[in-house]
Amino acid sequence: AFFFLILILQILFSRFGMLVGLPEPAVDITVFAVSLYVPVYLYKSMRRVYEQSHLASVPKFLLLTLAYFGGFSFILVFAALIAAFSI
């Protein structure tokens, strides 16, 4: 739940930060900081839930990251093909 909350807050902050008068560098720094924090949070949560060492958690985290990236790439290519053939 925290992961989705922080992503929603990041989206809202980046969309409405300029409207409330925040300087652009503040918005950019916040988005950058959240983008760095999310993988750290996911890794630490995996370590805490599975109660394993760094040696066991790092390969699992990398495999999970690779699987998500592969799935995202597949869906992106599939959506691009559907868009290209529907024109």
Same domain, 74 and 47: no
The predicted model scores a pTM of: 0.68
Instruction: Please give the tally of structural domains in the chain.
Output: 2
Q: Which of these, 29, 72, 64, 31, lies nearest to 45 by C-alpha position?
A: 64
pLDDT digits (tens, 9 = 90+) for 41-51: 889 989 999 89
pLDDT at 1 over 80: no
Same domain, 60 and 72: yes
Same domain, 10 and 32: yes
Considering only residues 11 and 72, tell me which one the structure prediction assigns the higher pLDDT. 72
Same domain, 26 and 64: no
Domain that holds residue 69: 53-87
